[in-house]
Chain A
Amino acid sequence: EAQVTQNPRYLITVTGKKLTVTCSQNMNHEYMSWYRQDPGLGLRQIYYSMNVEVTDKGDVPEGYKVSRKEKRNFPLILESPSPNQTSLYFCASSSGQVTYQETQYFGPGTRLLVL
């Protein structure tokens, strides 16, 4: 089954404790992206990757890191989480350039609470 998976689905952590949220897709997609969703703000793009070893900032990259060492995986790293990073996070992938006719497939989301 074609899908985007994220782990963990729920995470409670404390300020400053490094964490990684994993994202994996089995569709051989080139483009992958991370979003955060906050009430009243919709989805905001954090980082995206157009292919292995090619990443770029979205609209809200501060406090986050990403890497793309393999085509299928795109982990999101919070080196020193803060309470303002409490949010619902989504990973997404698409088969080509999203500026053109490619749609994105979303993972189920990771709900993060930073105390």
Chain B
Amino acid sequence: SQQGEEDPQALSIQEGENATMNCSYKTSINNLQWYRQNSGRGLVHLILIRSNEREKHSGRLRVTLDTSKKSSSLLITASRAADTASYFCATAPGGYQKVTFGTGTKLQVIP
């Protein structure tokens, strides 16, 4: 089964609004990463948050991590049409090199 599960599966918002997507995972982790994928293309790394961090910012992105709930959220503020993509969280359980991706959230930003 998938280590990471994102919700919602799909999200449609107007340009300028904020988009929030969530990721839950099952086992302990060293870090959690968020990636973006544009329509069948390769994934692009967005941000990494370590297990001892609670919040991290990068430009219009804000990521939170709650290890007690085994969950993370990605907030994109002031969304743009170019943010339309699928977003995935990825985790690597502590001590192992396997990586597990979630099923993704498909975001559509309407101009």
Contact = CB atoms under 8 A, between A and B. Distances in A.
Interface of A: 4, 31, 33, 35, 40-45, 48, 50, 56, 58-59, 88, 90, 92, 97-101, 103-109, 111
Contact of B101 (A40, A44, A97, A101): A44
Contact of A107 (B42, B45, B48): B42
B99 A42 contact: no
Interface stretch (B68-76, B77-85, B90-98): B90-98
Contact of B50 (A97, A101, A106): A101
Contact residues of A: prevailing secondary structure: strand
Interface of B: 2, 4, 30-31, 33, 40-45, 48, 50, 88, 90, 92-104
A72 B40 CA distance: 24
Contact of A48 (B31, B41, B90, B99): B99
Contacts of B33: 103-104
A80 B98 CA distance: 25
Given A88-B40, A109-B42, A99 B103 contact: no
19 contacts: A4-B42, A41-B103, A42-B4, A42-B103, A43-B43, A43-B101, A45-B101, A48-B97, A50-B97, A88-B40, A98-B97, A99-B93, A99-B94, A99-B95, A100-B31, A101-B50, A103-B45, A104-B99, A111-B40
A42 B95 CA distance: 23
A92 B103 CA distance: 18
